[in-house]
Structure 1
Amino acid sequence: MTTEYRRILLDGNAVDVRRDGDTLVAGDGRTVAIADATHLPPVAPSKIVCVHLNYSSRVEEMMTTLPPAPTYFHKPVSALNAHESAVVRPQGCKWLNYEGEIAIVIGRTARNISPQEAGDYIRGYSIGNDYGLHDFRDTDSGSMLRVKGADTLCPIGPGIVEGWDFRDKRIRTLVNGEVRQDGNTREMKWDMHYLVADIARTITLQPGDVLMSGTPAISRTVYPGDVVEVEVEGLGTLRNHIVEGPTPIRSDVGAQPTESEEVLSTAQGGDWEFRGIRKPDLSNTH
């Protein structure tokens, strides 16, 4: 038995609601149709931790091998975004990629726990899209801060589903209705419980914290005007649209966007030279 909770803007206030079919029900009895709701991120984490590689199809696509244990990076909480909201590609950047993922939401303070205990510390699961701005891949010494940390690049939602079993679940990403990613949690080298226990060895996980559990193969570039949906069996669909930011990246400070071979190969796949890359149009405003 699963139960889904969302967070929406209701009469000007941020309100937690429970899903009942196509209706969202607030604690005081007010209701709103899902189609009419303005969604907010369903959780307010103190930290967002992401695993680099976990799905076998992605490992094969990247033509690499997994390390003996997971490696991670951090997305700032200022990157949080919501279901049906805009993901902003800054002016002057070209290589914005989607990565459909399952988000683990912590329910109890967790520190120094075993994988066998980890399930008791998980509140539930949501859908995430770990967008990456690969124009900055040549900077930050591999920390991924500017690649993965820009504002709006971490939509999560539409809700948190409690009581969901992550085993053997399908995950797909669609762009403008066309399937781009199609994977299954069977591909994961390290499951949800392992990831939680691994991080909690040295970093205290607080209620609401989010762990992003990895993406399958075929992360590719999206453009202003595109609609991106991540579907997870039993969790629903997270939908966002891409827009171009109103101002360009400042050129008078900091590292500038680059278009190296690493940037292109990551954004378009390892065999990008042979694919006939879709050339981005920086004047695209549709």
Structure 2
Amino acid sequence: MTAESIDPRFAALPGRPGKIIAVHLSYASRADQRGRRPEHPSYFLKPSSSVAGTGGTAERPAGAELLAFEGEIALVIGTAARDVPIDDAWSHVGWVTAANDLGLYDLRAADRGSNLRAKGRDGYTPLGPALIEAAALDPGALRVRTWLNGGLVQDDTTAGLIFPLPQLVADLAQHVTLEPGDVILTGTPAGSSVAAPGDVVEVEVDAPAAPGRPSSGRLVTTITQSERGVDGRLGALPTSDDAQRAEAWGSREAAGLAAASDREAR
């Protein structure tokens, strides 16, 4: 099946992913920001229905406050991997592209452990716009950058990962079969923060040291406000506190400045 013949949400991919596996904390810069460093990688799943292409929108539901962006490097599996050694793991990655792992911090407490409602909403996994062939890339020399309304807010390389990309592939492959088209979101560096309705988030992945400096191009997502909220008769309502605000904004200082700006705007 070709990209042209499937849902346009998956036009940047070989097809609809069977599964999307996301890594929690993986960059040293992010770990330093959070004040905790994991001993081992940990993961969660996102539904393929959350995938979006470039130029799309992501809705913040009514009643929610903390919609955070996370620029990431996405790995797209090219050949099936199961119980592969770390030295062979990268050969199973077909392509690399940009991702934005959007999430509602307002629903983290209710979703702790799964992230399904917090990060699985429609449009919350933009991917693309172009695939870079992984075979020609050094997995330790990739770069991810994120812009918020034109200003650079994230800039890091895979040299700053706590867990190298081949390790993530090999670790996952000892637990589940990674199938062609599956996507691995490899975590976000420091600089992830909150986006408000009207904001435009752009993410780019490239290989600055590789011949031709291959790039995914900029993955563009505009944040919008939905009039529809969450029905509290069915499940947990969005809720936020100072701890969630600090995590979403990246620090208590940033959260405090945002709250002060919001009060002035009112």
TM-score tier (shorter): 0.7 to 0.9
Which residue does the alignment assign to 2:98?
A: 127
Larger relative strand fraction: 1
**Offset, 1:159:** 2.0
Deviations 1:209-266 (A, max 9, x none): 0011111102111011111101222322111111122422213221111112332121
Which residue does the alignment assign to 2:184?
A: 211
The alignment status of 1:65 with 2:37, answered yes or no, reads yes
Which stretch of structure 1 is more off in the superposition, 244-253 or 69-78? 244-253
> Any conservation in 2 of the 1:223–1:280 contact (CA below 8 Å)?
no
TM normalised by structure 2 equals 0.87
> Any conservation in 2 of the 1:52–1:73 contact (CA below 8 Å)?
yes
The alignment status of 1:114 with 2:85, answered yes or no, reads yes
Aligned-pair Cα RMSD in Å: 2.2
> Any conservation in 2 of the 1:135–1:258 contact (CA below 8 Å)?
yes
Distance between the aligned counterparts of 1:202 and 1:122, measured in 2? 17
The alignment status of 1:261 with 2:242, answered yes or no, reads yes
Deviations 1:39-73 (A, max 9, x none): 83424111100111111100000011222x21111
Q: What are the within-5 Å matches in structure 2 for residues 146-225 of structure 1?
A: 146-162=117-133, 163-225=136-198
Number of residue equivalences: 250
Matched position secondary structure for 2:187: coil
Matched position secondary structure for 1:277: helix
> Any conservation in 1 of the 2:12–2:127 contact (CA below 8 Å)?
yes
Deviations 1:84-126 (A, max 9, x none): 1111211221110000000000011111111111122111111
The alignment status of 1:227 with 2:200, answered yes or no, reads yes
Distance between the aligned counterparts of 2:171 and 2:235, measured in 1? 34
Distance between the aligned counterparts of 1:87 and 1:280, measured in 2? 21
> Any conservation in 1 of the 2:245–2:255 contact (CA below 8 Å)?
no
> Any conservation in 1 of the 2:245–2:252 contact (CA below 8 Å)?
no
Identity %: 36
The alignment status of 1:102 with 2:73, answered yes or no, reads yes
Unaligned runs of 5+ residues in structure 1 are 1-5, 16-36, 282-286
Distance between the aligned counterparts of 1:174 and 1:198, measured in 2? 31
TM normalised by structure 1 equals 0.81
Distance between the aligned counterparts of 1:133 and 1:221, measured in 2? 9
Which residue does the alignment assign to 1:31?
A: none
Unaligned runs of 5+ residues in structure 2 are 207-213
Q: Structure 1 251/114 Cα, relative in aligned 2: closer, same or farther at 3 Å?
A: same
Which residue does the alignment assign to 1:251?
A: 232
Distance between the aligned counterparts of 1:82 and 1:247, measured in 2? 23
The alignment status of 1:89 with 2:60, answered yes or no, reads yes
Matched position secondary structure for 1:219: coil
| AA in 1 matched with 2:219 | L
| AA in 1 matched with 2:238 | P
Which stretch of structure 1 is more off in the superposition, 117-126 or 140-149? 140-149
Q: Structure 1 174/267 Cα, relative in aligned 2: closer, same or farther at 3 Å?
A: same
| AA in 2 matched with 1:50 | A
| AA in 2 matched with 1:123 | G
> Any conservation in 1 of the 2:9–2:52 contact (CA below 8 Å)?
no
The alignment status of 1:240 with 2:221, answered yes or no, reads yes
**Offset, 1:280:** 6.0
